Amino acid sequence: MHLNTRGLMSPSYKRGTLMRWKFWTRIAVFLLLLSSLIQAETTRSDSLVVTNIVGGLVDELLLNLDLSRKHIAVMPFETTAGRTEARGLGEAATILVNASLVHYDDVIVIERDKLEDLIEEMKLSLSGLTQGDLEVGELLDANLLITGAVADLETRFLIAARLINVESGQVLKSASAEVPATNFMSVSAGLAVVKRYPITAAFRSLIVPGWGQFYNDKPTKGSLVLGAETVLAISTVVSYLMYKQSLNSYERAGNSELAQSSYDEVETYSKMNWGSLGALGTVWVYGIIDAYMDSRSQIKVYSQDMQKKK
């Protein structure tokens, strides 16, 4: 025990303990910032991977075709059976295919808003190639249609597409590409509504603070929750150790003056410890509730989005 001759903890030992507390706090803040940077870089990497794969799919569809002044409309891709949270990926695939077509100088891409307005007006079924799809193409003065679907293969998603001649209804080309599930889900979260499970989100935050926020595709909030819990956990442990040391000093005090001084330290570190512990629990509970409610909110948006498309 680092005590001076009067039974109290030495000032140098106290300074050392406080310096260690500050050091670990700074480490926690650094890890929080590092986590945010890594998440941002991961998102950019995911976007690059998915964009390149979808771009290759479009290149394969249009290879060796005369595209001079061709009007192309991309019909909404459907999503086949698979995990519930992936049901909105067809919309994401549609957006990505549209974005890839923009790079072709000779192609005129029909605006998605115009296409969606017409589909809504006609109340068409969009399952596969139908006479309605061809009718949409004709009404939009499109020469070519691209239709497709997204299939869930667990560790990856299969995007299948067809290029169709509007005038004849002939399928000119078919192509498909597989996209890693983690990359596609990450990118799609920013393009379309992806359904999450509230219980899953809450359970993840129960196990690891911030995990539920990451599951809900809220990495910044997840990093903040995880970082706050890390800082508070360090504060709780350090304040408890200092409390125990102060209590030991109090018990060893030789007179009332020294005992009072030690008792004041015991009170201070006790309050710090309980405050840190309370804040630790509050943030932990907040993380669980926030993950659950945010997931429910996403389900509401998802349901509304699906209702609009019916």
For residue 178, name the pLDDT band (cuts at 50, 70, 90).
very high
What mean pLDDT, rounded, does the chain reach? 76
CATH of the domain at 161: 3.40.50.10610
Are residues 217 and 147 part of one domain? no
Are residues 188 and 148 part of one domain? yes
- In this prediction, residue 222 carries a pLDDT of 86
Are residues 213 and 119 part of one domain? no
Are residues 185 and 106 part of one domain? yes
Taking CA atoms, 34 is separated from 31, 37, 152, 174, 264, in Å, by 5, 5, 32, 43, 38
Q: Which residue has the tokens 């115009």?
A: 114
- In this prediction, residue 176 carries a pLDDT of 92
Do the beta carbons of residue 88 and residue 37 sit within 8 Å?
Answer: no
pTM of the model: 0.53
Are residues 110 and 77 part of one domain? yes
Domain assignment present for 181: yes
Tokens of 272: 């710090």
Q: Is 149 helix (H, G, I), strand (E, B) or coil?
A: strand
Most confident of 17-26, 36-45, 206-215, 260-269: 206-215
Count of helix runs (H) and strand runs (E) in the chain: 9, 6
- In this prediction, residue 216 carries a pLDDT of 80
The radius of gyration of the chain's CA atoms, rounded to the nearest angstrom, is 30
Are residues 254 and 239 part of one domain? yes
- In this prediction, residue 126 carries a pLDDT of 45
Q: Is 156 helix (H, G, I), strand (E, B) or coil?
A: strand
Are residues 61 and 135 part of one domain? yes
Do the beta carbons of residue 152 and residue 86 sit within 8 Å?
Answer: yes
Domain stop point among 194, 215, 234: 194
Are residues 226 and 291 part of one domain? yes
Domain stop point among 194, 209, 224: 194
At 3-51, the pLDDT tens digits run 444 444 445 545 555 566 666 666 666 666 666 565 555 556 777 888 8
Domain assignment present for 32: no
Are residues 127 and 258 part of one domain? no
116 contacts: CB under 8 Å, gap ≥ 6: 76
Are residues 180 and 261 part of one domain? no
Domain stop point among 167, 194, 221: 194
Q: Distance (Å, rounded) from C-alpha 107 to C-alpha 100?
A: 11
Domain assignment present for 251: yes
37-71 burial, b at 16+ Cβ within 10 Å, e below that, comes to eebeeebeebeebbeebbbebbeebbeeeeeeebb
- In this prediction, residue 177 carries a pLDDT of 92
The tally of domains found in the chain comes to 2
Domain assignment present for 9: no
Are residues 189 and 138 part of one domain? yes
Whether 137 shows a pLDDT value over 70: the answer reads no
For residue 127, name the pLDDT band (cuts at 50, 70, 90).
very low
Are residues 88 and 166 part of one domain? yes
Domain assignment present for 109: yes
Q: CA torsion sign, 209 to 211 to 214 to 215?
A: negative
Determine the structural domain holding residue 114 and report its residue range: 46-194
Domain assignment present for 39: no
Q: Distance (Å, rounded) from C-alpha 250 to C-alpha 177?
A: 71
